């Protein structure tokens, strides 16, 4: 496994996905190695949940952190007898050829189309757009965690993209001990839990919430990935409303408590890949309120979430006000959300799909042939 920050996962959808996939493959008897960045994975952790961790440095700039580490991983992998490399994320597509050799196969999983993210502008935007063709053409197989984006990419590139979503683990809820130290009461707050970047849409939520007549609190749990300009903008937008609480980045027990005891969670994204954060909120049994972008609707289906018009704070205010006035509906949606996500996004079933795919990709190489999807 390569192309991620590392594990144990403390934040990031790719990291959580790799940890869950790799651990289950290791449990099934496969020899799994994960290439991790030295600044992310502690030096003392060399094995995690049955996976061997290989720590390598990276050039820690916004544009080169990922590519430099993935390139070093490819060079290091030449000394290893791997049968298959599972590479992650669109921006790593140019490194695919470096992982070749010794009959090794490469599967690339796309967790989103990075060029739509606000942090990538100018040359970064152009780079990720240019990565699309090699991402689809160069690996033996390319998969997408989003059916919507995978279909769009396959149509534009005229090459199959296999849909395999991320999953979600069934959580064990905690008592609200840490929550109360923050001055919050169970069931008396609405939760936003995501990175503080414009495409996650927290500004729409704050704008809508300020217009509500309610004693509920709004918890903004997250932090800016790089820099704080947008985070400062959000705090300015919330200034003067003491119902709005900024907690910064949360993890571990506090993360669990926030998700265990929210009245509802709001996901006002302008764009997504396949949101593990949304799936986790549903697995905790939360009533989820989502913007009606295709990626969110792909997760909640027809009945497992409440929707509002994307980028429309006034409609968000109207729908949220309705939920705050209807706790019985919220309870129904909590049950539907938990049932739906556990049925549709079970990690064991998803790893079944990956294991079957990996075996099918490897079979031709073991027979001296070419895998389905190879260039001819």
Domains of the chain (ranges; CATH) run 13-167+346-366 (3.40.50.2000), 177-344 (3.40.50.2000)
Specify the pairing of strand 51-56 against strand 47-48: antiparallel
At residue 223, does pLDDT exceed 90? no
Cβ atoms of residues 333 and 3 within 8 Å: no
pTM of the model: 0.85
What does the alpha-carbon distance between residue 16 and residue 6 come to, in Å, rounded to a whole number? 9
- CB contact set of 169 (below 8 Å; sequence gap of 6+): 20, 283, 347
Higher pLDDT, 149 or 35: 35
Distance (Å) of CA 209 to CA 62, 204, 243: 33, 9, 9
What pLDDT was estimated at residue 121?
64
- Predicted confidence band at 372 (pLDDT cuts at 50, 70, 90)? very low
Mean pLDDT score across all residues of the chain? 92
pLDDT band of residue 374 (cuts 50, 70, 90) is very low
Whether pLDDT at 175 is above 60: yes
- Residue 226 is predicted with a pLDDT of 56
pLDDT in tens, 178-200: 999 999 999 999 999 998 999 99
**102 vs 176: which has the higher pLDDT:** 176
**For 5-9, 109-113, 207-211, 214-218, which range has the lowest pLDDT when averaged over its residues?**
109-113
pLDDT classification of 170: cutoffs 50, 70, 90? confident
d(CA 253, CA 141): 38
Could you give the C-alpha distances from 49 to 24, 154, 251, 318, 358, in angstroms and in order? 9, 35, 19, 45, 20
pLDDT of 261 above 60: yes
pLDDT band (50, 70, 90) for residue 120: low
Percent of the chain with pLDDT over 90: 79
State the pLDDT at residue 373: 43
375 pLDDT higher than 50: no
The pLDDT tens digits of the residues spanning 35-93 come to: 999 999 999 999 999 999 999 999 998 778 999 999 999 999 998 999 999 999 999 99
C-alpha angle 321/178/214, rounded to 5°? 15
């Amino acid at each position: 496994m390569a192309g991620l920050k590392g594990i144990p996962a403390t934040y990031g959808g790719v990291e959580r996905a790799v940890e869950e996939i790799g651990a289950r493959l290791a449990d099934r008897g496969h020899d799994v190695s994960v290439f991790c960045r030295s600044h992310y994975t502690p030096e003392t952790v060399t094995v995690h949940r049955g996976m061997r961790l290989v720590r390598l440095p990276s050039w820690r700039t916004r544009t080169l952190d990922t590519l430099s580490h993935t390139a070093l991983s490819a060079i290091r992998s030449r000394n290893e007898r791997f049968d298959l490399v599972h590479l992650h994320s669109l921006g790593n597509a140019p490194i695919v050829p470096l992982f070749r050799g010794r009959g090794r196969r490469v599967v690339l999983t796309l967790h989103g189309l990075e060029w739509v993210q606000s942090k990538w502008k100018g040359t970064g935007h152009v780079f990720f757009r240019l990565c699309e063709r090699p991402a689809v053409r160069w690996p033996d197989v390319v998969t997408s965690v989003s059916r919507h984006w995978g279909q769009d990419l396959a149509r534009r590139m005229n090459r199959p993209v296999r849909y395999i979503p991320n999953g979600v683990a069934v959580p064990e809820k905690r008592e609200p001990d840490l929550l109360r130290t923050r001055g919050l009461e169970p069931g008396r707050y609405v939760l936003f839990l995501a990175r503080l970047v414009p495409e996650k849409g927290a500004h729409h939520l704050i704008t809508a919430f300020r217009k509500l007549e309610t004693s509920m609190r709004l918890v903004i749990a997250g932090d800016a990935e790089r820099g704080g300009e947008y985070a400062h903008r959000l705090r300015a937008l919330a200034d003067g409303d003491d119902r709005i609480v900024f907690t910064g980045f949360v993890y571990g027990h506090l993360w669990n408590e926030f998700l265990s005891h929210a009245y509802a969670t709001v996901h006002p994204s302008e764009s997504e890949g396949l949101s593990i954060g949304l799936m986790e909120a549903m697995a905790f049994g939360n009533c989820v309120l989502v913007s009606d972008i295709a990626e969110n609707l792909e997760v909640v289906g027809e009945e497992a979430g409440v929707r509002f018009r994307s980028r429309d704070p006034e409609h968000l205010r109207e729908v949220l006000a309705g939920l705050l006035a209807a706790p019985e509906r919220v309870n129904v949606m909590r049950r539907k959300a938990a049932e739906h996500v556990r049925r549709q996004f079970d990690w064991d079933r998803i790893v079944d799909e990956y294991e079957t795919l990996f075996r099918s990709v490897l079979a031709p190489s073991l027979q001296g042939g070419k895998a389905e999807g190879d260039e001819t």
